[in-house]
Structure 1
Amino acid sequence: MLDLTTCDAVFLSFDEPNADSHYDRALEYLPHAKRVHGIKGFDAAHRHAGEICGSDHVITIDADNLLTDEEFFSGRFDVSPRDREAVFSFSARNVLNALEYGNGGVKIWPRETLVTLRSHENARRPEAAVDFCWTTPYFQVNRVLSEVHMTDTPFQAFRGGFREGVKFNLAGGTLAYKVYPDLPKGEALLSHIGDANLERLRIWCSVGADVPNGDWAILGARLGCVMTALDGFEHAHVADYGWVRDFWEKTVYADWQDDARRHEAIIDLGNRLNRELQLEIADLDAAASRFLKSTYHRRRAFGMTVTV
């Protein structure tokens, strides 16, 4: 049994507009939580988190996370001895689209994994360029510990949607059309990422018009998917904070800050995804988005992902 009250906790923030208020909530649940702020790069920030901690296991909370399950952090977590070297990723509910999975959720890391992490900007293997989960022993835990709030500004919303639109073209850190070069791209995508992740991709591309800046997230998801699946985008750029900011300022916001033009772009991107990948995504208004979120039942993830 892992006594969570003895684990160091680290709140990781970079430029999130809601970071301070979310850190205040984290301190209510975890009064001893440290904060790592402003370190550029996922890998660098997480390794620093490990370096400032002394416990064998470390809890990390991303800045866009608002903790919602206080009871969990005062309890114990049952870990089999054979799994003590794995990362445990807990589900978070995204208020944009009601999806509940590991994206942005609370994680429990072996400290040794944090301080030796080599992913994202410091990846030594191409599979780790976008996420650590494909090269590190990793459990997805279905318990929801937090809410993800990632639409406080247009840029935050776009960045979150764009990342998921890119990432859902990957499985095991590799692209669908590279694994199945002889299949039509739509068929290759489904064969590669499976039903559950296909459903999540479609929801990211369709749901959220009822949330302020939700259209920017939908634009990001659709654009990320089009660029990656159809236009040969170098997907590792999505882990480069500077590249994403530059792309936003020089291309995305410059072209689509006007509401009408942004709406037109969302429709055009959706039409292309449906035509060339057969995604069958929908253009939902605010009322339809609210209704879907009120009735949606999430898929649950089971088991352990281990890459060696």
Structure 2
Amino acid sequence: MTRPGIAGRFDGVFLSLDEPRADDLFARLCQSLGPVKRLHGVRPMRRAYQLCAELADTEQFFLADGDFDIDPGFDPDSVEPLAPGTAMRVWQAHNPVNGLTYGYGGLKLIRSAALRDLGEAVDVLAALPGEIEFVGTPAGTTRIDQSAYHAWKAGFRECAMLARGCEYGATSTTSQQRRITAWTSGGTGPHADEAAFGAREGLTFAAASADDPIAWAQLNDPAWLRARFAESTGQVR
């Protein structure tokens, strides 16, 4: 049954680009949270995030990516507002391909004002002005393996950024290496090989790009990522 509203306090926005299962995951999000707005197909990523703030009717709102599959047991009514000075709260998400559970792909509670004042970073939301709060429990699953391309892209982008270093300043070197090992070691599911291949390619990209800001900006360019995937694998998608 669809909820009548989102905890009475927080709006919700679902941000999708080209994910094959986005319609289904959006419907599931609405079943858990109530009426949720959707922004689809907007590029570049930084602009898409800022437009989410314009869609939201509340100053703090839930933000879910197009591959986020919410846990039906997640209770929005129990969620407290962000503390003063906190720009975003991130719940963990489980990755069924490699078995990791951490903030990657997780549900967020975010301030509209912080998105409007977004700075510049490779991991776009790392440039929010204010503190980032990480919740040590998952709110759902990140469905990275919706196609060969999407699995490859997830591995490529995440391992490139892990190799570069966490822009949130909240992850130890040991944790980063453990995650890299899991991403590059294969996993479970029809596109596990593509995810691991993309992860290894992401490491190669990071080593070659060093401090080149133009190269790193390509991680947020969907057209470049698709071309890189096609070149690497010989597949169109």
For residue 168 of structure 1, what is the aligned residue in structure 2? Answer: 162
Specify the SS of the correspondent of 1:141. strand
The aligned amino acid for 1:214 is A
- Quick one: distance in 1 between partners of 2:101 and 2:11? 25
- Quick one: distance in 1 between partners of 2:13 and 2:184? 31
Question: Contact 1:67 / 1:145 at 8 angstroms: preserved in 2?
Answer: yes
Overall identity of the aligned pairs, in %:
25
- Quick one: distance in 2 between partners of 1:220 and 1:101? 19
- Quick one: distance in 2 between partners of 1:131 and 1:169? 16
Bigger mean CA deviation after superposition, 39-48 or 18-27: 39-48
Structure 2 counterpart of 1:11, from 11, 14, 18: 14
Offset at residue 139 of structure 1 (A): 1.2
Q: 1:194 to 1:215 in 2, by over 3 A?
A: same
Q: 1:224 to 1:6 in 2, by over 3 A?
A: same
Summarize the alignment of residues 4-153 of structure 1 with structure 2, pairs less than 5 Å apart. 4-77=7-80, 79-80=82-83, 82-83=84-85, 85-118=86-119, 123=120, 128-133=121-126, 136=129, 137-153=131-147
- Quick one: distance in 2 between partners of 1:69 and 1:5? 18
Specify the SS of the correspondent of 2:145. coil
The aligned amino acid for 1:132 is L
Offset at residue 212 of structure 1 (A): 0.4
More helix by share: 1
Specify the SS of the correspondent of 2:229. helix
Q: 1:224 to 1:76 in 2, by over 3 A?
A: closer
- Quick one: distance in 2 between partners of 1:77 and 1:46? 22
- Quick one: distance in 1 between partners of 2:132 and 2:72? 22
Question: Contact 2:60 / 2:81 at 8 angstroms: preserved in 1?
Answer: no
Unaligned ranges ≥5, structure 2: 1-5
Offset at residue 135 of structure 1 (A): 5.1
Higher Cα Rg: structure 1 or 2?
1
**Deviations 1:277-301 (Å, cap 9, x if unpaired)?**
xxxxxxxxxxxxxxxxxxxxxxxxx
- Quick one: distance in 2 between partners of 1:30 and 1:72? 8
Offset at residue 115 of structure 1 (A): 2.5
Offset at residue 52 of structure 1 (A): 1.5
Offset at residue 252 of structure 1 (A): 1.5
TM-score by length of 1: 0.67
Offset at residue 79 of structure 1 (A): 4.4
- Quick one: distance in 2 between partners of 1:111 and 1:193? 29
How many residue pairs match? The answer is 224
- Quick one: distance in 2 between partners of 1:108 and 1:135? 13
2:236 maps to 1:243: no
Specify the SS of the correspondent of 2:63. strand
TM-score by length of 2: 0.86
- Quick one: distance in 2 between partners of 1:74 and 1:135? 25
Structure 2 counterpart of 1:217, from 174, 180, 195: 195
For residue 195 of structure 1, what is the aligned residue in structure 2? Answer: 174
- Quick one: distance in 2 between partners of 1:14 and 1:22? 13
How much is the aligned-residue C-alpha RMSD, in angstroms?
A: 2.2
Question: Contact 2:15 / 2:64 at 8 angstroms: preserved in 1?
Answer: yes
- Following TM superposition, the consecutive aligned residue runs of length 4 or more in structure 1 with deviations greater than 3 angstroms are 230-233
Specify the SS of the correspondent of 1:91. strand
Unaligned ranges ≥5, structure 1: 175-191, 258-308
The aligned amino acid for 1:44 is R
